[in-house]
Structure 1
Amino acid sequence: MRALYRPISRTIQTSGITIQRCLYSTHHHHHHHHHPHPHSSKADFKMSYSLHHPHSNYKHGSEKHEPIIFMHGLFGSKMNNRGISKMFVKELGRSIFALDLRNHGESPHITPHTYTAMAEDVEHFIKDHKLENPTLIGHSMGAKVAMAVALRSPDLIQDIIAVDNAPVNAQLGRQFGQYLQAMSRIEATPIVNTKEADEILAAYEPSLPIRQFLFTNLLKPTKSDDRFRWRIPIKILGNALDEMAAFPFTPGEKVFTKPALFVRGTTSKYVADETIPLIGEFFPRFQLKDVEAGHWLISENPEEFKNVCLEFFRREKEE
């Protein structure tokens, strides 16, 4: 069943809407694998990332000027947003750092898994890499990380784009807990191939593109370890689900007075209309845009997502 792992671009019919999804292979280039043990020291905590830069005017150092920092959602990684990153690089001439947040992708497994800790990680990343005036773009969990950085350290960044999440305590979709159950079951079952893993997961998640997205986290057996196992620490993430539904600030506590774009999927429930006044209390200069899509709107409708972001960036330049 190698097919699960190749980059798959397929068009899916969902109730008459055609969605182009691109799912990326788990084969990395130029990144070494390391599976650190959970630890909590800041000093040797290195975040894994990919850098996309405009080739035309690329001089070493220019990637630090007004870059975009892209942050994935729960169970995602820096591989998720490659397609959209390449589009932005081409359209904007800005470089993009796609991060692996802690406990995701190739970044270290480390507790606690909280928005405050993840915001600190990103702040350290900006300082360590001497990035000037970055824009933060985050999806889902990554959106709340972007909001937390903006409220904690407004001077470090120029603006944020929060994709399908709001600065509120709100139930996570039930599916995330179910994915973790399925992942534990897969890890506990002596499966022989990815097809068997997919059969277990299909009982929890009928959508093939979402299953393929989750399987970017599955490590195949190696010579030293003959089991299928997960790249991400499912125990740490399982314990953090309530934390991921929360938000570490209450209105009135802090405010981000620079521009903020909130993008939501028309068929997603994550940014309910009643949260809009709350967004305004934290982010008085926010704009809200709807994109025809569900929660995974960047992969479901990259074209419309790209357009609302470009409009936001261009508007600022004119201000």
Structure 2
Amino acid sequence: IATEASSKAPSKFHDRRLTLRREKQPTHRSARATPSMAATIRGLQLPLWATFRSFSSSSTAHCRATVATYMGASMGWHRHAVACYSSNTIKGAVRLSYSLHKSHDAATASALPPIVASDGLFGRKESLAPVCKALAAATGRNVFAVDMRNQGDSPHTEDMNYELTTADLELFLQDRGVSKATFVGHSLAGRMVMKFAVTKPSAVERLVVVDTGVKPLPPVLLDEWLPWQASAMEHILSLLSPDMNLEQARQVADQYLSTKVADPYVRSFLLANLRKGPHSYEWQPNLKALRRNRQALADPHYLDNERSDVDALFVAGDESIYLTADDLKGIKRIFPNARLVTVKGANHWVHNHKTEQFVDLVKDFMAARRPEAPLQSP
């Protein structure tokens, strides 16, 4: 069992509970643990777990705890090993929340670089679960669904820009001992993984960018839609009572949003971020930080004078305005080994709207040697 943990109090790193050593080791494989050993083990397990539970995922000092359990043929002894380190290895980076979708073929997955996927604005790792499970099954690789900073369960920070998100991804790989991965990013996360690819090309096996390109974002999105969306979400909180259950709260919120957002899928996508806090309802994303840093996130020059030879697949939805076939020329100036495929009948959330077609595209792309061989548009 591998457990990621962190502590607000550096003194916890010297807690005796985190430096467990195996009790006297049996000298024969057939030996059984004595009752006193078993009692010692049980006594140690609870404080170890309690110490892990007391850690905070957003603190600055971190401890990576690997708990290995060894069970002999007829023995009952355990060993716990804990390795601690500082989070200051990469300046400005935070540790991202994630979920792991494992391939059923463990042998193949262990020999191949994993896939690291992240959703766009107001996206969460849970919203990526269906496509990540399908990608793991189709490609034979382990797939990490990762929350960007200020979204999902990842830490909230005042600042957010592509230099910081690059540091976050670098730390994510470092913590897992991964030297290279394929990155999948949708919309805002697509811009994030593009910046990572030009900054850390040796860490990128392949790149999949979903419904965004290298051109500037539409001004209406930056100046009108995002501020309104954040304000509307903040206003919704004033309409909710702590006495409401989550279903009732989402019904009230949906009724309010429906006056401005006609698409029920978009409303459902947003409302998945609503959760009940200790005293009132709250949103998972850091709305203030996203709104405050929108200029940095929409920076039209963040890829200026950049280039990466990584093999890249850009996937557009033909019912979306964010990426079209005309954008390929600009994309190739930065990613010369890029190809662009448009999925018919797909909206901005291509990977969720047309999951089967999207997974087939990524599977074929991962199997192809070079982008000269065109992919078929579904």
Bucket of the pairwise TM-score, normalised by the shorter protein:
0.7 to 0.9
- The residue number in structure 2 matching 1:138 is 185
Deviation of 1:189 after TM superposition, in Å, equals: 3.1
Question: Which AA in structure 1 matches 2:121?
Answer: L
The size of the alignment, in residue pairs, is 282
Deviations 1:3-26 (A, max 9, x none): xxxxxxxxxxxxxxxxxxxxxxxx
From 265, 286, 289, the counterpart of 2:338: 286
Matched, 1:97 2:144: yes
- The residue number in structure 2 matching 1:254 is 306
Contact 1:168 1:246 (8 Å CA) reproduced: no
Deviation of 1:190 after TM superposition, in Å, equals: 4.3
SS in 2 for 1:299: helix
From 186, 195, 205, the counterpart of 1:158: 205
CA distance in 2, matches of 1:111, 1:64: 38
Alignment CA distance shift 1:37-1:241 (3 Å):
farther
TM-score by length of 2: 0.68
- The residue number in structure 1 matching 2:231 is 181
Contact 2:93 2:165 (8 Å CA) reproduced: no
Question: Which AA in structure 1 matches 2:94?
Answer: F
SS in 2 for 1:98: strand
Percent identity of the aligned residues?
Answer: 27
Contact 2:114 2:142 (8 Å CA) reproduced: yes
Deviations 1:106-154 (A, max 9, x none): 1100131112211211111112211132100000011001100000010
From 256, 270, 276, the counterpart of 1:220: 276
Larger Rg: 2
Question: Which AA in structure 1 matches 2:310?
Answer: K
Deviations 1:199-239 (A, max 9, x none): 122222122221111112111254xx0x2111221111111
Unpaired runs of 5+ residues, structure 1, are 1-30
Q: What aligned pairs does 1:230-249 form with structure 2 within 5 A after superposition?
A: 230-249=283-302
From 91, 99, 102, the counterpart of 1:50: 99
SS in 1 for 2:289: helix
From 251, 256, 269, the counterpart of 1:200: 256
Alignment CA distance shift 1:94-1:239 (3 Å):
same
TM-score by length of 1: 0.80
- The residue number in structure 1 matching 2:316 is 264
CA distance in 2, matches of 1:199, 1:109: 28
Question: Which AA in structure 2 matches 1:296?
Answer: W
SS in 1 for 2:234: helix
Contact 1:264 1:271 (8 Å CA) reproduced: yes
- The residue number in structure 2 matching 1:19 is none
Alignment CA distance shift 1:176-1:34 (3 Å):
farther
Question: Which AA in structure 2 matches 1:305?
Answer: F
Unpaired runs of 5+ residues, structure 2, are 1-52, 61-86, 374-378
CA distance in 1, matches of 2:260, 2:361: 33
Matched, 1:211 2:267: yes
Contact 2:316 2:323 (8 Å CA) reproduced: yes
SS in 2 for 1:262: strand
Deviation of 1:187 after TM superposition, in Å, equals: 2.1
SS in 2 for 1:132: coil
Contact 2:312 2:337 (8 Å CA) reproduced: yes
Question: Which AA in structure 1 matches 2:102?
Answer: H
Contact 2:195 2:303 (8 Å CA) reproduced: no
- The residue number in structure 2 matching 1:3 is none
Matched, 1:70 2:117: yes
Higher alpha-carbon deviation: 177-186 or 276-285: 177-186
SS in 2 for 1:158: strand
Alignment CA distance shift 1:37-1:116 (3 Å):
same
Alignment CA distance shift 1:37-1:314 (3 Å):
closer
Greater RCO structure (CA 8 Å; 6+ sep):
1
